[in-house]
Amino acid sequence: MRIDIITIFPEMFEGPFTESIIKRAIQKGIVEIHLHNLRDYSNDKHNRVDDYAFSSGAGMVMMIEPVDNCISHLKSERNYDEVIYMSPDGELLTQPLANRMSLYENIIILCGHYKGIDERIREHLITKEISIGDYVLSGGELGAAVLTDSIVRLIPGVLNDETSALSDSFQSGLVSPPVYTRPREYKGWAVPEVLLSGNDKLINDWKLQQAMERTKVRRPEMYEILKKK
**To the nearest whole angstrom, how small is the minimum distance from the Cβ of residue 196 to ligand SAH?**
43
In 3D space, the residue among 67, 90, 98, 97 whose CA is nearest the CA of residue 136 turns out to be: 90
Burial class from Cβ neighbours inside 10 Å (0-12, 13-18, 19+) for residue 38 reads: buried
Indicate the residue among 89 and 185 with the shorter CB distance to ligand SAH: 89
Indicate the residue among 137 and 212 with the shorter CB distance to ligand SAH: 137
**To the nearest whole angstrom, how small is the minimum distance from the Cβ of residue 80 to ligand SAH?**
18
Count of Cβ atoms closer than 10 Å to residue 30 Cβ:
14
**To the nearest whole angstrom, how small is the minimum distance from the Cβ of residue 148 to ligand SAH?**
12
Task: By CB under 6 A, name the binding residues for ligand SAH.
Answer: 86-89, 111-113, 115-117, 131-133, 135-137, 139-140, 143
Indicate the residue among 33 and 158 with the shorter CB distance to ligand SAH: 33
By 3-state DSSP, what share of the chain in percent is helix, strand and coil, each rounded to 5? 40, 20, 40
**To the nearest whole angstrom, how small is the minimum distance from the Cβ of residue 139 to ligand SAH?**
5
Indicate the residue among 142 and 226 with the shorter CB distance to ligand SAH: 142
8 Å CB contact between 39 and 115: no
